[in-house]
Amino acid sequence: QVRLVESGGGLVQAGGSLRLSCAASGRTNTVYSMGWFRQAPGKEREFVAHISWNVGRTVYADSVKGRFTISRDNAKNTVYLQMDSLKPEDTAVYYCARRTDPLGSTSVGGYEYWGQGTQVTVSS
């Protein structure tokens, strides 16, 4: 079994930055890719970014491209999401997810394991 725990969420003013972390424990000695998704109240969960096993490839949603950066430390089994130039529309619960595939996916259904989520609130 795999457990994912997010941290780093909080309240920030528009234009500010936050760094989310997601630590994996349990069955981590396999090849996998990691993704970040978010869900705002009344909306469906949406893709934010994913990173492949060999960190050679990252993919971002158009809405965050140029502002967010996903990275991972395989030795620590941790993935990060650096969020800069935050906007009120970035307000959501952010979830990390793991996929047993070296390449990531933009689909919610493509991930087998999910964290409990961390709230990010951006005030105007």
**Cβ-based neighbour number of residue 74 at 10 Å:** 14
pLDDT digits 0-9 by tens, 43-60: 999 999 999 977 679 999
Phi, psi of 75 (to 5 degrees): -65, -30
Model confidence at 74: pLDDT above 90: no
Predicted local confidence at residue 55, as pLDDT: 65
C-alpha 33/C-alpha 15 separation (Å) is 29
pLDDT above 90: residue 85: yes
pLDDT of the residue at 70: 97
